[in-house]
Each structure stands twice: as C-alpha cells, then as structure tokens.
Amino acid sequence: MATKQIIVLNVNGDDHEILVKPQQTLLEVLRETLGFTGTKQGCNEGSCGACTVLVNNKPTLACSTLAVAAVGKEIMTIEGLAGQDGTLHPIQKSFVENGAIQCGFCTPGMVMSTKSLLDRNPNPSEEEIKEGLSGNLCRCTGYAKIIKAVKAVAAG
Amino acid sequence: MQRGKVTGVTDKPSEEIMEGYSVIGKSVPRTDAWDKVIGRAVYTEDIKLPNMLYGKILRSPHAHARIVSINTEKAEKLPGVKMVMTGKDILPVKYGIVPFAQDEYGLAIDKVRYVGDDVAAVAAVDEATAAEALELIEVVYEPLPAVFTVEDAMKDGAPEIHEGPKVKNNVSIQYRKEFGSIDKGFEESFHIREDVFKTHGQYHAPLEPHAAIAMYEPSGKLTLWSSTQIPFFLRHNLASTLGITEDRVRVIKPVVGGGFGVKIDMFSKDFCAAFMSMKTGRPVKMVYDREEALTCVRGRHPSIVKVRTGVAKDGRIISQYIDLTVDGGAYNSTAPLIITLSGYFAMIPYNIPNLVLDAKHVYTNKYANGAMRGHGAPQMRFAVESQMDILAADLGMDALEIRRINALEAGCDHPAKMILRSCGFKESLDLAANAIGWKEKRGKGNFRGVGLGGSGWASGVNNMSHIGGGAVVKLEKTGGVTVLTGAADIGQGAESVIAQIVAEELGVSFAKVRVIAADTDVCPLDSGTFGSGVTVRSGKAAQLAARDIKKQILTVVAKNIGGDPEHLTIKDDYIWQNGQKKMDINKAVKLVQYADIQVPMIGRGYYQLPAKEPTTLLRDNGDISGSYSFGTQAAEVEVDPKSGRVKIIKIVTADDAGRALNPDQVEGQVEGAVMTGLGHTLFEDPDFDMTNGQARSTSFTDYKLPTALDAPDQEVIHIETDDPVGPFGAKECGEGATIYTAPAIVNAITDAIGVRINDLPITPEKILRALEEKNNKGRKEA
Ligand code: FES
Ligand code: FES
C-alpha cells in the first residue's frame, strides 16, 4: 500500500493539515477526516451530484476527485457558503423560500451547482438552468421548485 | 428573513385575525429547511461515535442456492477485524411487515434466494478492513435451479423458493375480493372487453443510501440510529429477532434523505449492526453502497393485470373482473398489502357495482419487492385507466365523459362500503381536462396528444391493527412549545406540518413550535410513515394534544378574568374573549403555573380510526381509511415518429388533498410524485440477467433517474374539500399523485400515435414497433 502523506487543504478559507492516503477521495477526507458532513455521498461513483463542491470556483464531484489533487486550491463546501454571521447566501435563501428542499440530501450539491451556474451565467434561461443542474439528481422535488428557486435568485 | 417566521399576521386588525387561519394554508418555509440548506442537517451516515466499528455485508453471488458451509476463520484473523457473523449465530426468528407473512431472517439461514441475499457480516476498525475481510470468508454453495418470472415460478415442478405447506407453486399469498355479482353484471352489460396489461419494476432510489448505527451499552440498552420510515416497527422487529424485550431497544431516526417505501422494512444493516454491537460492546456503523441501496433492498412490484369490464350503452361500468399477479421477488415483505391495496384501489374513483379481484403474490429469485409510493395502485390504475380509454373508444364516447359518468361522489353508497366524506374527483376531471386544453387538443393526432388518468388514495390504511399515533405538547414558561411525536419525517415535511397544526390549534406563532420526533424512547407510539397517513394520523394526534393543553390554559384564565372558558380562545399568541384581546400567552402560562394545578404543562393526544384485531384487510368489506384523496392528471405529449422518443410537454394535476395545510409542500409532493411516475412510465427499468438473476442496473449510470432535463411543465390545481376527519380538513397528498401519471401519459401517447401499448415502460423501441405494426396493418387493409 502506498504511503500516507501530509497535505494541506484549504476548505472554506481555512487551511487544514492532514494525513491522507494517495487513493483517498476528497469526499472521504472532507466528510470523515475534516467533518464537513454537509457534502453528501449519494453514490460515490460520480453519477448523482450530491457531493458537488467548488474547487477554485469550479463545480467538482468530490467523490471522483483525489484529495491530493485539491492541494493548493480553494475548496468551498456548503458550510462555507453562508456568511460568517449566519446570513444565508441568496441562493440558500431562495431554496428555503421557494420550497425547493424536501429530504434535503441533494440540497448541498444542488446549491453548489447553482452557485457555479449563476457565477458563469447570472441570467440563465429555463433550459440553461435545467442543463446546469442536470448532473444533480433529486428524487423528491421533481425539480420544479428547484428551478423556480434558481430563477428567483437570477431575477434578484 | 427570519427562520420560520410568518409575516403579516399580528399587525392585522383584530376582526381580521379572528377570521381564517394564521398558519394553516400558508406556505411557510419548512422548519428543517434552514439546517438542510447550510449542510447542518444530520443524517445517519453523518454520525460518528467514539470507538466505532464499521460493518459490511457479504452477499450471495447465486440467485438460489443452499449454503453448505461458511468458513470465517481467515476473515476473523485479519488484523482489525473484531467480529464475523453468519446465519448460524442468530436466533431462527423470522421477521417481516405483516405478522402472518414473515419469511425473512436477519441473515440467511441455510439458503439464499436472490443475488445479493445477506449471507454474513463483518465488523472491523475501518471500512477498508471490513471489505477486505469479506473476501476472506469462504462460502460453499450448492446452487439450485432459479426462476425469474412469475410465469416460470408458478409452473408445476418449479423450484420451491420457500419450502413449506403454506406455499404452492411459489404463490405465497392469494386472495379473492368480491362485491356484488359479476356474472349477473356481465349478463346485463351492453359491451364487454378484456385486456391484459403489464407493468415492470422500479427502484425507489432515495438519494440517501440506507444506513444504521448501533450502540450497545453495558446496562443492556441498545440504541439504533437508522434511516428508517417506521421507528416503532423497527424496534419491534429488532427486539424479536435479537431475543430481547422492546423496552431495551431505542430506535432514533435522524434526518432521512428520502424513502418512498424502501425504508419501511428492517434490513440486515439494522440487525447486524445491532447484533455485532451487542457482541463487541462497541458502536457499529453500516452504510449500504449505491449498488446495495438499489439492488439489495426493495422495489416496486412488476405485475400482470387482466381486466374484463362490462359496460352499459351509456358507458356506465356494470361489472369488472380483475386477475392480478404480482412478482414479489424472494421475500414477502408487504405481500398481503400490495395485493389487497390493489384491490381497494380498483374500487376507487369509479362506481363499480360488481367486482371480483383475484390476486396472487408470487416468489421469484430476485430482490424482494415492497411498498413503493402508491403501493399496488399504480399497477391497477394503469390497467383500468388505460381500459377506460379503450372502452370509451369502443362506445364512441369521449374519454373524459366516460370518466365523469362513472365518477364516485361524496356521500355515495359505495359498493365496498368505503365512506367518502369528501370527494373532489368529478371536479378534478373537469379542471385537469380544461387546463390541458382537452377540447381543442384531444383526438387531433399528428404525433401530439393529450390523455387523462384518475385515481384516489387512502390517508393512511387503517383497517388493520396498531395503526395509530400519539402526541405530547409541552408548554414552556417562556411560551415556547415542544411537540413530541412518533411521526417519521423522511423528507416529506411531516415535522413541519405538525408544527403548523400545533401552532394553529394552540394559537401560538409557528416560530415558537419545536418538534421532537421519531425517537422511540422519548416520543409516543406511532405506526410510522407509510400509506400516506402521517398528516391525518399523527397530525390529528398533535392537534388533539394541542387542544388538550389549550383547554387547561383557558380553564385557568377564565377563572382569573371571569367568564366561560368555552368563550375564550387563543390566537396569534393572545388570549381572546368575544373578539377582544385579553392577555398574551406568556402571561397566561404564568397564571397557570401560579395556579394550583399540575406542572409540567402537558397536553396529550392519540388518534386511531376504528380498527379490528387482527388484520382484516384481506377479508372484510369496509372503510380502510378515514379519508381518501382524489385527483386527475392530464398529460400532453409529443412523439417523434422517427426516433420513437416521447417528449412530455405538460402535466396537470388537479388534486383533492382536502385542505392544503401548506400549499407549497402539497405542490412539492405532487411535483415529485409526477416525476417518479414519469420515470417509471418511460424509462426507469431495473434490468436483470435472466439467465442467472444478476441485477444489471446497479448504479445511477445504468439506472437512469429523471434529471432536471426531463422535468416537464407542471401545473398543480388544489381542490379544497375540507374533509371532516383530518386535521383542519387535510387529506393525504404524498402517494396519490404518483398513481395516475402512467395512464395519463400512456393515454396521451395513444392519442398522439393512434396505437396503444399495454406494457410499461413505453420505450422508443416499443413506440417504433407499434407504429410499424400500425403502418403494416394500414397497408394490408388498403
Ligand atoms: S456521491 Fe459523488 S456523484 Fe454521487
Ligand atoms: S430533496 Fe430529496 S433528493 Fe432532492
């Protein structure tokens, strides 16, 4: 077995020095080592989007990314999105107000994907929203209220 | 924005406040939305306990085999492995949802019955070690012949999946339900036709995989955190299979990431985590991977439904004979329920004076099927609603009209003696048809079409034992309210709706109510989340508990300010007398506390509809629920004749869910249910290798769930009927809306292409084949 190594990961603005195995995924390290359990594991094989985090502002499936590959980059998880004082990010607020959350298991990934979508395209059309969220599965909402929530943020 | 704040309530003039509801009927954000959106909601998988071990299950590679021997020695010697267990270690006590149909052990004993059956379990210091240990367990199997279709399973001489006198030709449960006289009915019919419909399986696929953590303490107490829908039944099943009393088991349901029925049964992750924690004295965590959470749990029952219907000239249904065979997979799970519920939902939403249902539940060597959103009704409604369109065409009638003529109404003398206190079905037909543009769009062909499907569903199934719920409402000195409920929120929003009910009934603001739920040591007994009964059952219990405490407060206040307590009420945090504000709730609470009556201030409520003991669902006619939801779905589709692909343009749901306590949440339930129905109708299809029973759909890559790209335009129309049974007039809304999606879409496709497909799913290949056959026929006739 390959040897463990010490790496530094920057998560939500803070540096964390940790010991990892080369094959450990970013998801495992975030959840198990660092306790950022807001990032969800729905499949662990890159096909549900529940583990979506932002790495250097790019939506990234943490289950399909090695922890070592995230060294030197800025990682943002759902825990890092709200303000220090607890104020919700406009996307979070919109999800809450528009009934876009049921079981909530897809929510963190969905919110992170929305953030990346709106960063790239602040005024997406309905088709662009659907396209932008098509990698995030939700079994509860039928997507209707999620799409509505995203539209509402885009409209400001 | 403030958490849970209902704005614009207390600033209104008093007359306006006294009218109408303060929080009922308002789309307040759910109480748990905030935690969920910041990543703070704690699901079972997120919990870590000191000194915790990780468990894994060894699963059968054979669809049907005898276990000759299991050698665990090597696995036990692997450093880091703390325990290995097999069926030999456990009590031979069977468990299951329905007592007389129990046929499962915590781990397989002697025999495995599907690829994935639970054979052994390991607990180790970490997951990787546990996984490595599984590879070291040596199992010798003697493979047995296996069957994968109900047709093969029922043949004489077919392999016996469960031996024993109760099962013949693998038919594990069989029942006949009869109302009126079908023979006479068919004699009187003007037109009779028979059709056969087939439905396929479906994975529930909640995004959160199944998980459990067990912690056994030296005192003899076992605590299990589990992603379950039914904490109290789980406690019961755990205690009986472990051979301990229920009072030593505490089941806690953390936040659950969806269930849809697949978290009703106990699974080996619950049983083995508990067993190994008891033996090792350490907490044990078990989380299923995605493949296990799809292929080793439960699914929707595939079915074959033969329907023979006799109608009068004007389209009235006179007689109906239904022969239903469902593929149960390797175990019974909810077997008696699926077939009886199918029967009951053949009796709704149309008046069918003479009906016979012959139903069978058949074992096959595939994963077991169980309750899934609609539980039996989607299969039945797909068949019957498809045939309604066929009958209408035979009679030269409009498909909307034939439904209107047969629609049940509130207060009717129901042939099966169901009591319909409220029923918005007729209205739903008209509203859905109008909204989809029925008149303009129906029958135009040209690969675009509209279709309808109607249905109803129970607000909890009550004609069986122990289907009740309790609630306790505690009032704090500061005016805060704590509700203890056994209701299990699995994402549908039960806790939030219960908070709304208590806030309204007690007259306090929504933000003051905190709900503590689904902990069997702390919360009152509740039967759990199934049959779409939570709002009506647990919600009503909470309402009664709030009413109880309200009465206590008002008695004391009346003594203090004079007058009859009956003329006092609490609303928007104030005590009111004859339309006048008298004092705020905090002051009232203080009064009560200084009065010489018992503290703590506790209100109690319990709600259960009359039920018979033991379960009588199988035998009796009669009401099976306190209330029934009704609705119609209308679909508009476009079919591409070149590729056979179907585009769903719009789905309208006109839904009578009684009073919508939280309209946004009702809509959310409907929209989600529609997508589950849409996926099932068009492409979700658990695939098996029919030579060996190996599941082929083992991930979200080869089992496609609908994505945002599949989301059609949806319109939800609420029909408010104010049912007298449920809290504030509410009925169910979680399951009903998934039932009629398939017939609405299929009837629309038929309208678009002019040919009907009777077996789900409606894939592009089937459409192309149907079009080709139609063309060939057209050519021959020409
Ligand atoms: S957990 Fe990473 S995509 Fe599903
Ligand atoms: S809210 Fe449950 S999966 Fe999206």
> At B465, is the pLDDT very low, low, confident or very high (cuts 50, 70, 90)?
low
pLDDT confidence of B416, banded at 50, 70, 90?
A: confident
Q: Supply B635's token pair.
A: 């679909």
How far apart, in whole angstroms, are the C-alpha atoms of residue B120 and residue B291? 17
Identify which of B607, B465, B472 has the alpha carbon closest to the alpha carbon of residue B534.
B607
Residue pair A50/B207 in contact (Cβ under 8 Å)? The answer is yes
Query: Which pLDDT belongs to residue B463?
Result: 63
Please give the average per-residue pLDDT across B732-739, as a whole number. 91
State pLDDT tens for residues B137-164.
999 999 999 999 999 999 999 999 999 8
Contacts of B444 (CB under 8 A, 6+ apart): none
pLDDT digits (tens, 9 = 90+) for B327-354: 999 999 999 999 999 988 999 999 999 9
Q: How confident is the model over B52-81, as pLDDT tens digits?
A: 999 999 999 999 999 999 999 999 999 999
Q: B287 CA to middle of ligand 1, Å?
A: 15
Check pocket membership of A103 for ligand 2, CB cut-off 6 A: yes
Ligand number nearest to the C-alpha of B489: 2
Give CATH for domain B44-144+205-295: 3.90.1170.50
- DSSP structural state of residue B729: G
| Residue nearest atom 4 in ligand 2 by C-alpha distance | A138
- Other CB atoms within a 10 A radius of the CB of residue B780 amount to 7
* Residue in chain A nearest B701 by alpha carbon: A47
Nearest ligand 1 atom to alpha carbon A49: 3
**Ligand in nearest proximity to the CA of A31:** 1
Ligand minimally distant from the alpha carbon of residue A138: 2
Averaged pLDDT for residues A82-97 = 95
Domains of chain A (ranges, CATH numbers):
5-79 (3.10.20.30), 90-155 (1.10.150.120)
A110 touches B: beta carbon within 8 Å: no
Give the distance (Å) from ligand 1 centre to CA of residue B705.
Answer: 14
Q: What are phi and psi of B158, to 5 degrees?
A: -65, 150
Q: Chain A residues with CB inside 8 Å of B705's CB? A: 137, 139
Residue B2 is predicted with a pLDDT of 33
Residues of B in contact with A42 (CB under 8 A): 207-209, 290
A90 close to ligand 1 (CB < 6 Angstrom): no
Give the tokens for residue B254: 């953390």
Quick: pLDDT tens for B17-44.
Answer: 556 899 999 999 999 999 999 999 999 9
> Which of B326, B357, B592, B381 shows the shortest CA–CA distance to B475?
B592
Q: pLDDT class for B734, splitting at 50, 70, 90? A: confident
Q: Identify which of B21, B29, B20 has the alpha carbon closest to the alpha carbon of residue B501.
A: B21
Q: Give residue-wise pLDDT tens across range A32-72.
A: 999 999 999 999 999 999 999 999 999 999 999 999 999 99
Q: How far apart are alpha carbons B36 and B52 in whole angstroms?
A: 26
Output the residue whose Cα is nearest ligand 1's atom 3.
A46
- CB of B203 less than 8 A from some CB of A: no
Cα of B206 vs centre of ligand 2, distance in Å, is 8
Strand ranges for chain A from DSSP E: 5-11, 14-20, 52-55, 58-61, 74-76
Residue type, B151: E
Query: Minimum-distance ligand to the CA of A49?
Result: 1
A103 Cα nearest atom in ligand 2: 2
Mutate to test the interface with B, among A139, A141, A150 (most CBs of B within 10 A): A139
Q: What single-letter DSSP state applies at residue B695?
A: B
Q: Which residue of B has its CA nearest to A48?
A: B700
Evaluate: CB of A42 within 6 angstroms of ligand 1: yes
A130-154 burial string, b = 16+ CB within 10 Å, else e? bbbbbbbbbbbbbbbbbbbbbbbbb
Beta strands B222-226 and B118-124 are unpaired
Rounded Cα distance between A19 and A4, Å, is 6
The reply to whether B7 touches chain A by the CB within 8 Å rule is no
User: What is the Cβ-side half-sphere exposure of residue B158, based on CA atoms within 13 angstroms?
Assistant: 22
Q: Per CATH, the architecture of B468-607 is what? A: 2-Layer Sandwich (3.30)
Among 2.160.20.60, 3.30.365.10, 3.30.1490.110, 3.40.50.2300, name the CATH number for the domain at B299-462+617-781.
3.30.365.10
Q: What is the pLDDT of residue B468?
A: 87
Interchain contact, B30 vs A103, CB within 8 Å: no
Ligand 1: nearest atom to the Cα of A43: 4
Structure confidence at residue B595 as a pLDDT band (50, 70, 90): confident
B672–A141 CB contact, under 8 Å: yes
Task: Give the nearest chain A residue to B675 (CA atoms).
Answer: A142
| Strands B284-287 vs B53-59: parallel, antiparallel or unpaired | parallel
> Would you say the ipTM is above 0.85?
yes
Q: Tell me if domain B299-462+617-781 and domain B468-607 are identical in fold.
A: yes
Chain A residues with CB inside 8 Å of B38's CB? 38, 78-79, 81-82, 88, 92
Ligand 1 contact via A59 beta carbon (within 6 Å) = no
Instruction: Report yes or no: B128 at the A interface, CB cutoff 8 Å.
Output: no
Cβ burial of B400 (10 Å; 0-12, 13-18, 19+) is buried
Taking CB atoms and an 8 Å limit, are A38 and B699 in contact across chains? no
Q: Which residue among A25, A37, A61 has the greatest number of ligand 1 atoms within 8 angstroms of its CB, and so is best to mutate?
A: A61
Rounded Cα distance, B119 and B452, in Å:
46
In angstroms and rounded to an integer, the radius of gyration of the C-alpha atoms of chain A is 16
pTM: 0.96
In 3D, which of B607, B490, B707, B347 has the Cα closest to residue A142? B707
Helix (H/G/I), strand (E/B), else coil: B482: strand
CA distance A8 to chain B (A): 23
Q: At what angle do helices B399-406 and B425-436 cross, to 10 degrees?
A: 170
Q: In this structure, which residue's CA is closest to atom 2 in ligand 2?
A: A103
Separation in Å, CA of B478 to nearest CA in chain A? 25
pLDDT in tens, B202-254: 999 999 999 999 999 999 999 999 999 999 999 999 999 999 999 999 999 99
Question: Which residues of chain B does A50 touch, with a Cβ-Cβ cutoff of 8 Å?
Answer: 207
CB within 8 Å of chain B, chain A residues 59-98: 77-79, 81-82, 88, 92-93, 95-98
What is the signed CA dihedral for A146, A151, B1, B5, rounded to 10 degrees?
-50
CA angle, residues B259, B260, B262, in degrees to nearest 5: 65
Interatomic CA distance for residues B591 and B582, integer angstroms: 13
Interval B93-151: pLDDT, tens: 999 988 889 999 999 999 999 999 999 999 999 999 999 999 999 999 999 999 999 99
In chain B, residues 671-730 whose CB comes closer than 8 Å to chain A: 671-676, 699-701, 705-709, 711, 714
- The answer to whether A142 contacts B30, with C-beta atoms less than 8 Å apart, is no
Check B33 against A95: CB less than 8 A apart.
Answer: yes
Q: Across B23-168, where does the E strand assignment appear? A: 53-59, 65-71, 81-86, 111-112, 118-124, 138-143
Tell me how close the Cα of B162 comes to any Cα of chain A, in angstroms: 33
Decide if B241 contacts B234 (C-beta within 8 A).
no
Residues of A in contact with B675 (CB under 8 A): 141-143
B9: confidence class by pLDDT, cuts 50, 70, 90: very low
CB contact under 8 A, A42 and B290: yes
Phi, psi of B422 (to 5 degrees): -140, 145
Q: How far is the centre of ligand 2, averaged over its atoms, from the C-alpha of B48 (Å)? A: 23
Residue B90 C-alpha, separation from nearest chain A C-alpha, in angstroms: 31
DSSP H or E segment with residue B582: strand B580-584
Neighboring chain A residues of B205 at a CB cutoff of 8 Å: 139
**Residue B305 in this model has a pLDDT that exceeds 90:** yes
Tell me if A142 CB under 6 Å of ligand 1: no
Mean pLDDT rounded to a whole number for chain A: 96
Domain edges within chain B = 44-144+205-295, 299-462+617-781, 468-607
Q: Answer yes or no: do A133 and B38 touch at CB < 8 A.
A: no
Q: Within chain B, what is the greatest distance between any pair of CA atoms?
A: 94
Contacts of B290 in chain A (CB under 8 A): 42-45, 48
State the Cα–Cα distance between residues B270 and B105, nearest whole angstrom: 12
